[in-house]
Amino acid sequence: MPSVAYWLSLTAIAVANGLAALWVFARFSDQKRIEIAKRKLRAHLYAFRLFAEEPALILRAQKQLLIWNGRYLALVLVPAIIIGIPTFVLLIQMDAVYGRRPLAPAESAMVTARFDTAADLRLISPTLEGRGVQVETPPVRMASEHQVSWRIRAASDASGSLLLRDPTISASKTVQVGLGLRYLSVRRVASVLEWLRYPGEARLPAGDVQWIEVSYPDAERHWLLWFSIVCLITMLVFRTRFT
């Protein structure tokens, strides 16, 4: 079960993100025009009730509702992009801390290496060596997916590493073991673009291996829901201070 520190730190980040979102919307949006658009939207919605027996007026209200809805979305688009992009990056990195946990001593996990499509897994014999980690199984090849998997087990309460060898590459991969919050490098990659998603370790050297991944256990499946709720509550509580 996640610790108190887990929930406190997650809550603090969510509050900070909510306040940052409020500041961005206050700084980079036209609040007066947004308020006018909101009033127009409410007015045309009320028209549906007031003129329920007047089809022509209802159609006119629908047209105006679509127009003002488009204007409202255009007004909030810029601040939404400004806060949305860094928030997306933040959530990806937070998943490495709050979505997964390190292995417990004697706990097992799967390690998978993906090879280049040009590599013929029938002709190569990749090996995996553990340093502070036991490699329990021989390699299992999944030729259709160009992947090779092993099962490993944490040998102690200290973190270790793995060394993958094949004819074109010799590359290591960290394995985190123990308690507490940690940034887990789930996957070590060779591609520059993928490294932006998994920056926890240096890129793999050039060779047939595209990535090496450790299947760490889930820490808390609902961390993103908690983050979203706290962020939303923060924005509702402090919204008047940023208008």
Which of 142-147's residues contact partners 24+ apart within 8 Å by CB, and which partners?
145/114, 146/114, 146/115, 146/116, 146/117, 146/119, 146/121, 147/112, 147/113, 147/114, 147/115
Q: What is the reported pLDDT for 44?
A: 78
Which whole number is the average pLDDT over 6-10? 92
Q: What is the reported pLDDT for 162?
A: 94
Which whole number is the average pLDDT over 213-236? 91
Q: What is the reported pLDDT for 1?
A: 64
Which whole number is the average pLDDT over 64-78? 88
**What is the rounded CA–CA span in Å between residue 222 and residue 229?**
11
Which whole number is the average pLDDT over 61-76? 87
Q: 141-163 pLDDT, tens per residue?
A: 998 889 999 999 998 888 999 99
Judged against a pLDDT cut of 90, whether residue 228 lies above it is answered with yes
What does pTM read for this prediction? 0.76
Mean pLDDT, the chain, as a whole number?
89
Kindly list the distances between the CA atom of residue 120 and the CA atoms of 125, 144, 161, 204, 210, in Å, as whole numbers in the listed order: 10, 10, 26, 19, 14
Structure tokens at 242: 């940023």
